[in-house]
Amino acid sequence: MESIWTKTCRMPAFPSLTAGMDVDVAVIGGGMAGILTAYLLKDSGLSVAVFEKDKIGRGATAFTTAKITSQHGRIYTDLIKYLGREKARQYAATQQKAISCYKKIAEQEHISCCLEETSSYLYSTVDAEQLKKEEESAVTLGLPASFTRQTELPFPVTGAVRFEHQAQFHPLRFLRAVASQLTVYEHAEALKIHGHRIDIRSGKDIHTVRAGQIVIATHFPLLNIPGFYFLRQHQELSYLLALDRAAHLTGMYYCCDPGGYTFRSFGRYTLFGGLGHRSGKLCPGDSYRRLWHHARRMYPRAAVAAHWSNEDPMPHDRVPFIGPYSIWMPHLYVATGFQKWGMTGAMTAALSLSDHILGRSDGHYSIYSPQRLSVRSGLGPFLTDVGHTTVHLLLQKPFVPYGKKNHIEKGFGPTCTHLGCTLSYNPADHTWDCPCHGSRFTEDGTPLTGPARRPLKE
């Protein structure tokens, strides 16, 4: 799969691991979260190395829409309601800080990544009242929010909340520039972690890396136990088109209505996305065609330059997990659960984890603690997820794959190699997707995204 970012940025090759080694900090995963964490530690005097199983910037970071914003849907009203005003203020302040850090790094390092300051809009076509409430909540938390009915969208809206001084960029051009200053090993897959030792597969060899501290930035965490992150979040998948010859937008737009769409421009292209659903949910037909059908009604002259999908883990209480992996392993850290806002999420993770590792953590990021217990906001989604997983573990679902040469056959979905749920066929991407925790596999059974790591059996 190619996104507009992979089509417009050649990534450099980094060496593979040829022997075991000792480092102060090992970062596992070369996406935005892992690379930024290593970058913020590079001048600390500690030796830091990134280990990436494939090539850097080929995970979720390659398939994002790359809006850099603290406007994460209609979140602030809920955060105030469920976590209280102080925690909500902490979330807002840390996400705003992440935006400034991107701007600062791009400027200091002279990175040519099309980073531009712009406004972000959360819009609705049905309900202005909930947006007015969200605007009030955001303003009380110190965010640059205002209510408007004026947008550049090709349809009327009932209202929108505008956040000023946000940003958008080319994520891979930024990542490439930052990673060029780091020690990175590609095709280096972390297999197991025992204490301070990591078994890393490089080609046919397995090498041992000994690290004082270990950061797991693998998008979905690598270890099931401890941490149990697979019980604390599920994954959601969405589809995107890069449209040529659609109207240029200066702002970034995100809809808070169910089934709404996302928009932003990049150069001559307009990115248009939506049709999000829980990964592994059976969806009839080709989602790209459905998206294209909507796009054509708005932009009759447009043509599709690229199409892709992406998924992200969604924590039950709508707050990412950033910090110590578990109380049992204090030298191990995690960054996950960015709920489709992993650009500011990754920067927040890098700022928080580098503070932890350098012993200067002062509670500024306590809202993200993976050891938190959010009963009020998290219990409902947790029970829904457990019910969902139980059903898919117990039931063998019949499926109808739309395979090669339109060959249609009836049978049963294969079994996921993570914990054994029955997979669903995704006819848009020709993948097998897991409804339990969102692992995805190619038609021939190769794992595409975690938590599953082993290929499907025949």
Kindly state whether residue 436 participates in binding ligand FES, applying the rule CB under 6 A.
Answer: yes
- Please report whether residue 169 would count as binding ligand FAD according to CB under 6 A: no
> Parallel, antiparallel, or unpaired for β 48-51 and 21-28?
parallel
Residue 313 binds: one of ligand FES, ligand FAD, none (C-beta under 5 to 8 A by kind): none
Least distance in Å: CB of 365 to ligand FES? Answer: 28
Of 88-96, 124-132, 166-174, 437-445, which segment contacts ligand FES by CB under 6 A?
Answer: 437-445
**Cα 284 to the center of its chain, rounded Å:** 25
Residue 336 CB, shortest distance to ligand FES, in Å, is 14
Q: Which helix (H) or strand (E) holds 96?
A: helix 85-108
Which residue, among 353, 23, 348, 350, has the nearest Cα to 184 in the 3D structure?
23
Quote the DSSP letter at residue 363: S
How many angstroms separate the CA atoms of 351 and 98, rounded?
8
What is the per-residue binding string for ligand FAD in 221-250, x denoting contact by CB under 6 A? -x---------------x-x----------
Cα-Cα-Cα-Cα dihedral sign, residues 49, 211, 38, 448: positive
Q: x/- binding map, residues 419-448, to ligand FAD, per CB under 6 A?
A: ------------------------------
Stretch that binds ligand FAD, among 51-59, 350-358, 371-379, 422-430 (CB under 6 A): 51-59
Integer-rounded Cα Rg, in Å, for the chain is: 21
Residue 51 contacts residue 188 (beta carbons within 8 Å): yes
Return d(Cα 282, Cα 304) in angstroms, integer. 25
CB of 98 to ligand FES, least distance (A): 29
Region from 22-30, 322-330, 366-374, 438-446 binding ligand FAD, contact rule CB under 6 A: 22-30
Nearest distance from C-beta of residue 141 to ligand FAD, angstroms: 19
State the DSSP string of 152-200: -SSS--SEEEEEEEEEE--HHHHHHHHHTTS-EESS-EEEEEETTEEEE
**Helix or strand run (H / E) with residue 215:** strand 205-216
The two tokens of residue 451 are 């938590």
Residue among 276 and 280 whose Cβ is closer to ligand FES? 280
Vertex 269, ends 264 and 272: CA angle to 5°?
Answer: 45
Which position among 434, 447, 449, 456 is part of the footprint of ligand FES (CB under 6 A)?
434
Residue 254, token pair as written in the block: 């995100």
219 binds ligand FAD (CB under 6 A): yes
**In this complex, which beta carbon is closest to ligand FES, that of residue 57 or of residue 451?**
451
Q: Is 267 left (phi over 0), alpha (psi -120 to 50) or beta?
A: left
Nearest-5° Cα angle at 262, 238 to 118? 135
Nearest distance, CB of residue 423 and ligand FAD, angstroms: 19
Q: To the nearest whole angstrom, how small is the minimum distance from the Cβ of residue 451 to ligand FES?
A: 5
One of 36, 80, 418, 456 touching ligand FES (CB under 6 A):
418
**Which residues in the 208-267 window bind ligand FES by CB under 6 A?**
230
Count of alpha carbons within 13 angstroms of residue 391, beta-carbon side: 11
Q: Which of 345, 378, 413, 435 binds ligand FAD (CB under 6 A)?
A: 345
Short-list 59, 61, 62, 79, CA closest to 70: 79
- Distance CA(306)–CA(125), nearest Å, equals 27
Question: How many residues form the binding site for ligand FAD (CB under 6 A)?
Answer: 40
With CB under 6 A as the contact rule, the residue among 26, 223, 252, 452 that binds ligand FES is 452
- Cα separation, 317 vs 83, in Å, equals 9
Per-residue contact flags (x/-) with ligand FAD for residues 62 to 91, judged by CB under 6 A: --xxxx------------------------
**Residues within the interface to ligand FES (CB under 6 A):** 230, 416, 418-421, 434, 436-439, 451-452
Task: State the residues that interact with ligand FAD by CB under 6 A.
Answer: 28-34, 51-54, 58-61, 64-67, 189-190, 217-219, 222, 238, 240, 273, 310-312, 338, 340-346, 450
